[in-house]
């Protein structure tokens, strides 16, 4: 996979997201039964409460014993402790769970699985469930193991010319990695097949195998025996060994008893063939592991046998002659399968049975450049030029190409090598070449790369998810930044040091806020950088990523010796930008050059960090602003209440004495004095009304009563009773529609109706006032309206009239303090509603307000 390609969400992520949806339980169950993985869920305590049907089909278990802790039953005993340890760690920390283990199939065969689990959290972040999947990775794991085994076998076979000792070590290397039993037989020069080596994990059984061979030697006529394999050069495979086969192959009751006791399940015998001659056989048998050999296992065993055969044949050729010795050493260098010899000009020196066996070409077809006919057309020109260049320069020839294999007609990937043998004058005497089938090796390497790529993708996905989880916490920005650096270092082991720097606008510098990984000595660890200073300052100034894959040679590095001691070779600095503005810099150091996939992931992480940190800062600023606003409003309300209350007493004294002065000296002073006294009395009365209204306004939020169910018509009746005098004087007509029951503060609802109806009576036109009060249900609230036929209001004043002390008319035209509608607005908002009006000058006004409806029981 190309590292730069974006990966689609895997099945595990899809199911996890589905389970996070409160309404997704049903969908999750359907998906869990449809996908090829084994799926399970567990409670917060780790007790398993669900397995999909594929789990029971695979393990052969039933639901009852499996729930709770029964999940451990199919686990391989060697893998269970680590799986339990990681599961307990995840339950304790809430971290995602991931482990590789072997799980027993219903027929007793163990296969490798990748187990993964994620916690499902509620809105408060508490774990309410665990969701997990088990993915079969047996093929990938075996491919990687095969590659490793071939490497170890190659080293072993090349380690000694004593082929008997080497082959005995090879059988021990194969157990138990390839089979439970491994034996190797060699055909001697006298035509007798001799058991060279046998291996089993139990030494007692090894002795038993030798004793069985002595007492019951293989039957040369057995069509499934090793004599048939050596005679024909073809492999024999027994995927299953039924009891009737044992009965037919054993010679007496004791022989059958021992064979049954061994519990043989599956077997494969492959020939040891080199240069067209078969001189032995390698046998692999399973018993305790209950494995069944597959075609892939047979191909791998044949590859191993070919290498062993070549090692044996090369060792035998060692002592023939000096020329044979030179050829042998060349073959060891080339690691051969098919061997060929050519004259200095490139013509065939002698027939090559191994090349004929591999390609199917007779000698007359592959002479000259005829051998190119079995090379893939796309590789022919490149291979030909390489061979001509090697001959011209007298240098070793080494090329990888695709060759048509005679056995199955498929294209095999081969490694072709040749070395020139020179005479005393430095001229080429002959060319010794080998062609080795490396198809299985390349397939194993590709599977290993695929597995590594998938593991890498899982690590990067876990990094993105954990960074998002950290940024969702309600914590200080400093703690969030420190936690994010820890997540980066924990998930990307190739990055041993991660730092987060934030841009301080006041100091005009980048300040270190989070660091995780290796400890940087304080001698050269600054805690702030100016723009343009150091690598971090350069990133902040240019506001674009800086990638250095050879950091030790960069002139801007401050601590080269320390970085070299820590093995740091790469650096990435990524600016954290929000709407083009610098928020900070993410800086990481790596142990190897950073690939495109890692750079793309870190770019996403940096963007998430920038957005998350800025969002968290805005939230904290908004919370602080809200607290300041609430405190200010509380202080203002308290001030209004105290000021209004404390002004009452001196005003009452002024009013009393002013009114006394008016009564005592009315008519005894001149006309100006009477007018002045009247002004004073009027001013004191208006001040008293203003203070009383202000006091009422401040008490709306601080002296309100508990909300209770109330028929709103009763509140309107009380308000009209308070307005009776004004109603009678104005000759008003009041119409009351059907009014609902609401959850309110009764006193305030009465005051609300009284202010709105009073306004309708006060601002009346030339005709007698007419007021209509009614209500209408709209969704989850009631919309009340107070409609009149008064003087109306121009639209530009709709918002202004609800502001305290705002008046549209002089006090000579219409008396009042300008607080009544502000009180109405405050009452409605306290009850969770809204207030407004619709009006046109000269056409009356309709005030409306909303109150929440009482929920209807279901």
**pLDDT of residue 746 exceeding 50:** yes
Band (pLDDT 50/70/90 cuts) for residue 729 is: confident
For residue 54, with 0-12 CB atoms within 10 Å meaning exposed, 13-18 middle and 19 or more buried, which class applies? middle
Whether 427 and 444 have beta carbons less than 8 Å apart is answered as no
What are the CA-CA distances from residue 452 to residues 121, 591, 751, 760 (Å)?
A: 30, 17, 75, 80
Alpha-carbon gap, residue 752 to 21, rounded angstroms: 45
Contacts of 359 (CB under 8 A, 6+ apart): 338, 366, 371, 374, 403, 404, 405, 406
Three-state secondary structure call for residue 698: helix
CA distance 764 to 730: 9
The residue assigned the tokens 């796309």 is 378
> In sequence order, what are the residues at sequence separation of 6 or more whose Cβ sits closer than 8 angstroms to the Cβ of residue 831?
707, 744, 745, 748, 851, 852
Contact 847, 856 (CB under 8 A): no
The predicted pLDDT at position 4 comes to 35
Please give the pLDDT value at position 6.
Answer: 36
Q: How would residue 334 be classed by pLDDT, with cut points 50, 70 and 90? A: very low
* Average per-residue pLDDT for the chain: 81
pLDDT of 301 reads: 87
pLDDT value at 627 more than 90: no
pLDDT at 647: 61
Q: What is the mean pLDDT of residues 709-713?
A: 91
Q: Would you say 416 and 433 are in contact if contact means Cβ atoms under 8 Å apart?
A: yes
The C-alpha atoms of residue 607 and residue 725 are separated, in whole angstroms, by 69
Answer yes or no: are the C-beta atoms of 835 and 848 closer than 8 Å. yes
**CA dihedral of residues 275, 278, 279, 283 (deg, nearest 10):** 120
Structural contact between residues 338 and 412, judged by C-beta atoms closer than 8 angstroms:
no
Which of the listed ranges 223-227, 391-395, 633-637, 682-686 does the model predict with the highest average pLDDT?
A: 391-395
Q: With 80 as the cut, is the pLDDT of residue 500 above it? A: yes
Per-residue model confidence (pLDDT) at position 96: 92
pLDDT value, residue 291: 82
Q: What is the pLDDT of residues 87-121, one digit of tens each?
A: 999 999 999 999 999 898 888 888 889 999 999 88
Mean pLDDT is highest, among 371-385, 609-623, 672-686, 796-810, for 371-385
How is the chain split among helix, strand and coil, in percent rounded to 5? 50, 25, 30
Task: Report DSSP state, residue 767.
Answer: S
Q: Which of 822, 744, 825 lies closest to 782, judged by CA?
A: 744
Q: Which run of H or of E encompasses 412?
A: strand 411-422
The per-residue b/e assignment along 62-74, b for 16 or more CB within 10 angstroms, e otherwise, is: eeeebeeebbeeb
Which residue, 570, 575, 573, is CA-closest to 609?
575
Residue 496 main-chain phi, psi, to 5 deg: -80, -5
Q: Distance of alpha carbon 194 from its chain centroid, rounded?
A: 58
In percent, the amount of the chain with pLDDT more than 70 equals 84
Check: CB of residue 514 under 8 Å from CB of residue 484.
yes
Q: Are strands 97-104 and 236-238 parallel, antiparallel or unpaired?
A: unpaired
pTM of the shown model:
0.35
**660, pLDDT greater than 70:** yes
Alpha-helical runs (H) found in 580-711: 596-665, 671-702
474: how many CB neighbours lie within 10 A of its CB?
Answer: 10
Structure tokens belonging to residue 656: 């009393």
**What's the confidence (pLDDT) of residue 813?**
45
3-state secondary structure of 256: helix
Ranges assigned E (strand) in 122-229: 127-136, 181-187, 193-199
Bridge partners of 397, per DSSP, are 418
Supply the DSSP symbol for 74: T
Angstrom distance (rounded) from CA 104 to CA 72: 10
Core vs surface per residue 207-219: b (16+ CB within 10 A) or e? ebbeebeeebebe
Strands (E), 707-757: 708-711, 733-736, 741-744
Q: What's the whole-number mean pLDDT along residues 373-394? A: 90
Taking only the tens place, the pLDDT of each residue in 7-63 is 334 556 656 666 566 555 667 777 777 788 898 888 888 888 888 888 888 888 888
Question: Closest Cα partner for 437 from 312, 342, 304?
Answer: 304
Question: Per-residue pLDDT for 329 more than 50?
Answer: no
In this structure, how many other beta carbons lie within 10 angstroms of the beta carbon of residue 404?
A: 17
Question: Which of the two residues, 207 and 692, has the higher pLDDT score?
Answer: 207
State how far the Cα of 259 lies from the Cα of 209, in Å rounded to an integer: 10
What is d(CA 177, CA 160) in angstroms, rounded to the nearest whole number?
22
The 10s digit of each residue's pLDDT in 811-830 is 444 454 557 788 888 889 88
Query: In which element (H, E) is residue 392 found?
Result: helix 377-393
What b-and-e string marks burial along 490-524, b requiring 16 or more CB atoms within 10 Å of the CB? Answer: bbbebbbbbbbbbbeeeeebbebbbbbbeebeeee
CB 268 within 8 A of CB 284: yes
Q: Is the pLDDT of residue 250 over 80?
A: yes
The two counts, helices (H) then strands (E), for the chain are 26, 27
- Token pair of 644, please? 């209004």
On the question of pLDDT at 1 being above 50, the answer is no
Counting Cα atoms < 13 Å in the Cβ hemisphere of 176 gives 10
3-state SS of 635-649 is HHHHHHHHHHHHHHH
Return all residues near 382 (Cβ < 8 A) that are at least 6 apart: 399, 401
| Side-chain-side CA neighbours of residue 631 (13 Å) | 6
Residue 577's closest CA among 624, 631, 613?
613
Contact 755, 841 (CB under 8 A): no
Indicate if the pLDDT at residue 639 is higher than 80. Answer: no
Task: Render pLDDT for 668-695 as a digit per residue (tens, 0 to 9).
Answer: 767 777 677 776 766 666 666 666 665 6
Helix (H) or strand (E) holding 827: helix 820-830
Where does residue 767 rank: exposed (0-12), middle (13-18), buried (19+ CB within 10 A)?
exposed
pLDDT of 333: 42
Least confident segment among 17-31, 148-162, 503-517, 763-777: 17-31
Torsion of CA 530, 532, 536, 540, to 10 degrees: 90
Tokens linked to 209? 């195998």
Distance CA 702, CA 686 (A): 25
List strand residue ranges (DSSP E) for 137-212, in order.
Answer: 181-187, 193-199
Question: What was the pLDDT predicted at 635?
Answer: 60
Q: Please compute the mean of the pLDDT values over residues 793-810 and round it to a whole number.
A: 63
Longest dimension (CA), the chain: 161
Confidence of residue 843 (pLDDT cuts 50, 70, 90): confident
In angstroms, what CA-CA distances link 682 with 505, 581, 655, 816?
58, 61, 9, 13
pLDDT reported for residue 8: 36
Q: Report helix, strand or coil for 121.
A: strand
C-alpha dihedral sign at 527, 532, 534, 539: positive
Q: Does residue 699 register a pLDDT over 70? A: no
């Amino acid at each position: 996979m190309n590292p730069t390609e974006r990966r689609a969400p895997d099945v595990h992520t899809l199911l996890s997201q589905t389970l996070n949806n409160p309404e997704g339980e049903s969908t999750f169950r359907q998906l869990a039964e449809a996908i090829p993985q084994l799926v399970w869920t567990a409670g917060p305590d780790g007790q398993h409460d669900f397995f999909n049907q594929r789990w029971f089909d695979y393990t052969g278990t039933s639901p009852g014993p499996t729930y709770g802790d029964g999940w451990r039953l199919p686990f391989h005993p060697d893998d269970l402790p680590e799986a339990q340890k990681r599961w307990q760690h995840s339950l304790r920390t809430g971290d995602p769970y991931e482990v590789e283990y072997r799980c027993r199939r219903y027929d007793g065969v163990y296969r490798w699985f990748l187990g993964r689990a994620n916690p499902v959290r509620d809105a408060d972040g508490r774990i309410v469930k665990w969701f997990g999947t088990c993915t079969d990775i047996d093929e990938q794991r075996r491919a990687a193991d095969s590659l490793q085994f071939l490497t170890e076998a190659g080293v072993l076979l090349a380690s000694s010319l004593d082929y008997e000792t080497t082959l005995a070590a090879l059988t021990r290397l194969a157990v138990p990695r390839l089979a439970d039993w491994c034996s190797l037989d060699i055909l001697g020069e006298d035509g007798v097949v001799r058991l060279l080596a046998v291996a089993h994990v139990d030494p007692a059984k090894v002795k038993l195998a030798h004793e069985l061979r002595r007492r019951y030697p293989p039957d040369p006529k057995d069509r499934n025996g090793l004599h048939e394999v050596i005679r024909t050069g073809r492999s024999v495979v027994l995927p299953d060994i039924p009891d009737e086969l044992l009965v037919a192959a054993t010679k007496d009751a004791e022989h059958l008893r021992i064979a049954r006791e061994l519990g043989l399940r599956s077997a494969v015998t492959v020939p040891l063939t080199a240069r067209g001659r078969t001189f032995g056989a390698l046998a692999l048998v399973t018993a305790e592991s209950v494995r069944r050999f597959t075609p892939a296992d047979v191909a791998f065993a044949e590859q191993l046998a070919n290498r062993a055969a070549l090692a044996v044949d090369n060792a035998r050729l060692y002592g023939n002659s000096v020329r044979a010795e030179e050829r042998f050493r060349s073959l060891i260098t080339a690691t051969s399968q098919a061997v060929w010899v050519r004259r200095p000009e490139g013509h065939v020196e002698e027939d090559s049975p191994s090349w004929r066996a591999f390609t199917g070409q007779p000698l007359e077809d592959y002479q000259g450049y005829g051998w190119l006919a079995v090379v893939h057309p796309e590789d022919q020109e490149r291979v030909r030029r390489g061979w001509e260049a090697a001959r011209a320069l007298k240098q070793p020839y080494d090329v990888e190409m695709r060759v048509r294999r005679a056995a199955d007609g498929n294209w095999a990937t081969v490694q072709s090598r040749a070395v020139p043998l020179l005479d005393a004058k430095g001229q080429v005497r002959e060319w010794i070449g080998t062609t080795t089938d490396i198809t299985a090796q390349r397939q194993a390497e590709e599977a290993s790369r695929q597995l590594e790529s998938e593991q890498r993708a899982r690590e990067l996905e876990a990094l993105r998810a954990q960074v998002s989880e950290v940024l969702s916490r309600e914590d200080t920005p400093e703690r969030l930044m420190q936690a994010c650096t820890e997540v980066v270092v924990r998930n990307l082991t190739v990055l041993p040091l991660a730092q987060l720097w934030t841009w301080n606008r006041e100091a005009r510098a980048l300040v270190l806020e989070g660091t995780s990984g290796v400890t940087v000595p304080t001698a050269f660890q600054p805690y702030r950088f100016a723009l343009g200073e150091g690598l971090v300052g350069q990133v902040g100034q240019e506001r674009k990523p800086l990638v250095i894959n050879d950091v030790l040679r960069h002139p801007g590095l401050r601590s080269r010796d320390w970085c070299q001691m820590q093995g740091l070779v790469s650096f990435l600095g990524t600016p954290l930008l929000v709407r083009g503005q610098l928020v900070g810099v993410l800086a990481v150091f790596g142990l190897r050059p950073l690939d495109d996939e890692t750079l793309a992931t870190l770019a996403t992480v940096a963007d998430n960090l920038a957005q998350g940190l800025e969002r968290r800062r805005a939230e904290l600023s908004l919370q602080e602003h809200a607290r300041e606003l609430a405190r200010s409003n509380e202080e203002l309300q308290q001030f209004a209440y105290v000021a209004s209350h404390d002004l009452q007493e001196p005003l009452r004294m002024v009013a009393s004495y002013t009114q006394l002065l008016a009564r005592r000296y009315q008519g005894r002073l001149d006309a100006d004095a009477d007018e002045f006294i009247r002004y004073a009395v009027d001013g004191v009365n208006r001040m008293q009304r203003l203070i009383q209204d202000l006091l009422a306004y401040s008490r709306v939020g601080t002296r309100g009563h508990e909300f209770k169910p109330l028929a709103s018509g009763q509140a309107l009746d009380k308000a009209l009773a308070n307005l009776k005098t004004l109603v009678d004087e104005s000759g008003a007509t009041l119409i009351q529609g059907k009014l609902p029951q609401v959850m309110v503060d009764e006193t305030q609802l009465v005051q609300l109706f009284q202010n709105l109806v009073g306004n309708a009576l006060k601002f009346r036109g030339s005709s007698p006032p007419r007021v209509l009060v009614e209500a209408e249900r709209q969704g989850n609230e009631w919309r009340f309206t107070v409609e009149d036929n008064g003087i109306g209001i121009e639209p530009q004043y709709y918002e202004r009239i609800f502001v305290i002390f705002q008046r549209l008319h002089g006090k000579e035209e219409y008396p009042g303090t300008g607080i009544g509608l502000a009180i109405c607005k405050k009452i409605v908002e306290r009850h969770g509603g809204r207030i407004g009006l619709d009006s046109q000058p000269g056409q009356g006004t309709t005030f409306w307000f909303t109150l929440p409806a009482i929920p209807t029981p279901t």
